């Protein structure tokens, strides 16, 4: 899953980015509202973490502009403003959740998971496809009741496929959701991770869940 952080406090942005990346998320960071708006408009993100007090366009303007343009990516406002009026304006402007600084990272992480679950239209944190189980909170995977050990990026690719069952995803779509903009794309990197997942998820099991759609990409077939 891919997250955009729009936060002008560089140190805080770095801490949040590092923490989310340790949990397996792909994270891009910008430090003013104009850059945040430009990236958010691309529609590549599963969640936006947004400060209110920003250089350039302020956070509320970013929220309103995105919603006016019918971009429905979940937005979590993260700000030092804790007055009730600020909370109301943020939520009424189109934000989905609101946290004040300082905050506990574990709470932030729980809210991130909840917003991404809500967007996927499933409140159950465990995605089940046949005998495959993907626990999006514990980040654990089982096939046929047996634990499958995955690396962070392998898990990221699998979760993205599992959140989009029976949908053909191109290599570009997968790369954009699992790697951030600092990643230097290699022509076969997605194929390499798909091979790893097939060995760990499908080998020795029937039916084979990860399917190649020639010329288009990959599909987790339910």
Q: Examine the domain organization and report whether 93 and 144 are in the same domain.
A: no
Q: Examine the domain organization and report whether 9 and 104 are in the same domain.
A: yes
Q: Examine the domain organization and report whether 41 and 89 are in the same domain.
A: yes
Stretch 44-54: mean pLDDT: 91
* Domain finish residue from 90, 119, 148: 119
Query: How does residue 24 score in pLDDT terms, banded at 50, 70 and 90?
Result: confident
pLDDT in tens, 123-167: 568 899 999 999 988 889 999 999 999 998 899 999 999 988 999
Q: Examine the domain organization and report whether 144 and 112 are in the same domain.
A: no
Q: Examine the domain organization and report whether 48 and 137 are in the same domain.
A: no
Q: Examine the domain organization and report whether 19 and 102 are in the same domain.
A: yes
Q: Examine the domain organization and report whether 109 and 131 are in the same domain.
A: no
* Domain finish residue from 119, 136, 164: 119
Q: Examine the domain organization and report whether 115 and 155 are in the same domain.
A: no
Q: Examine the domain organization and report whether 113 and 133 are in the same domain.
A: no
pLDDT at 155: 93
Contact by Cβ (8 Å): 196, 148: no
Report the number of distinct structural domains present in the chain: 2
CATH number, domain of 13, equals 3.40.50.2300
pLDDT at 122: 54
* Domain finish residue from 64, 86, 119: 119
Domain hosting 180: range is: 126-220
Q: Give the whole-number percent of the chain exceeding pLDDT 70.
A: 92
Stretch 57-82: mean pLDDT: 89
pLDDT in tens, 181-221: 666 555 688 899 999 999 999 999 999 999 999 888 999 99
Q: Examine the domain organization and report whether 64 and 145 are in the same domain.
A: no
CATH number, domain of 147, equals 1.10.10.10
Q: Examine the domain organization and report whether 15 and 115 are in the same domain.
A: yes
pLDDT at 82: 65
Q: Examine the domain organization and report whether 57 and 25 are in the same domain.
A: yes
Stretch 110-116: mean pLDDT: 90
């Amino acid at each position: 899953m891919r997250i955009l952080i729009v936060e002008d406090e560089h140190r805080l942005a770095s801490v949040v980015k590092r923490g989310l990346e340790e949990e397996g998320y792909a994270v891009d960071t910008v430090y003013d509202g104009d850059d945040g708006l430009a990236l958010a408009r691309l529609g590549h993100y599963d969640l936006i973490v947004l400060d209110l007090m920003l250089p350039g366009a302020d956070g509320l303007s970013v929220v309103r502009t995105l919603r006016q343009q019918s971009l429905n990516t979940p937005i979590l406002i993260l700000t030092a403003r804790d007055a009730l009026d600020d909370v109301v304006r943020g939520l009424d402007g189109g934000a989905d959740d609101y946290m004040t600084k300082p905050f506990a990272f574990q709470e932030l992480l729980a809210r991130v998971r909840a917003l991404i679950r809500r967007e996927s239209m499933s409140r159950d944190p465990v995605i089940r496809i046949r005998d495959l189980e993907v626990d999006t909170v514990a980040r654990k995977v089982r096939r046929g009741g047996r634990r499958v050990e995955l690396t962070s990026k392998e898990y990221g690719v699998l979760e993205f496929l599992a959140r989009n069952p029976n949908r053909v995803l191109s290599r570009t779509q997968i790369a954009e959701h699992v790697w951030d903009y600092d990643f230097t794309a290699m022509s076969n990197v997605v194929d390499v991770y798909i091979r790893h997942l097939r060995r760990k998820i499908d080998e020795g099991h029937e039916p084979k869940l990860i399917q190649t759609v020639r010329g288009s990409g990959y599909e987790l077939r339910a």
